[in-house]
């Protein structure tokens, strides 16, 4: 498992392509319910409007934009 493929940074870069003109801000991070799985809410402001995404940590260590199957 390559770190670059599983890191939160690489997931954010894949989905939001931040630049110096459109930096990313972590709006919130916490754990979900009884499972205690981690999630991060990030946002950025672009000329066409705000963009906000949630990233969820999966058992394999990857960060995805959808929650793990047993946490849905």
Summarised one tens digit per residue, pLDDT across range 7-16 is 999 999 999 9
In whole angstroms, how far apart are CA 10 and each of 2, 19, 34, 40, 70? Answer: 11, 14, 27, 14, 24
Whole-prediction pTM value? 0.80
| Counts of helices then strands in the chain (DSSP H, E) | 2, 4
Whether residue 24 is predicted with pLDDT greater than 80 in this model: the reply is: yes
- Count the domains in the chain: 1
Is the pLDDT assigned to residue 6 strictly greater than 90? Answer: no
The whole domain housing 33 covers 3-71
Question: Mean pLDDT for the chain?
Answer: 86
């Amino acid at each position: 498992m390559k770190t670059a493929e599983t890191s939160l940074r690489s997931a954010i870069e894949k989905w939001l392509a931040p630049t110096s003109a459109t930096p990313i801000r972590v709006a919130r991070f916490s754990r979900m319910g009884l499972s205690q799985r981690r999630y991060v809410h990030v946002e950025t402001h672009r000329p066409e409007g705000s963009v906000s995404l949630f990233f969820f940590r999966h058992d394999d260590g990857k960060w995805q934009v959808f929650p793990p199957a047993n946490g849905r």
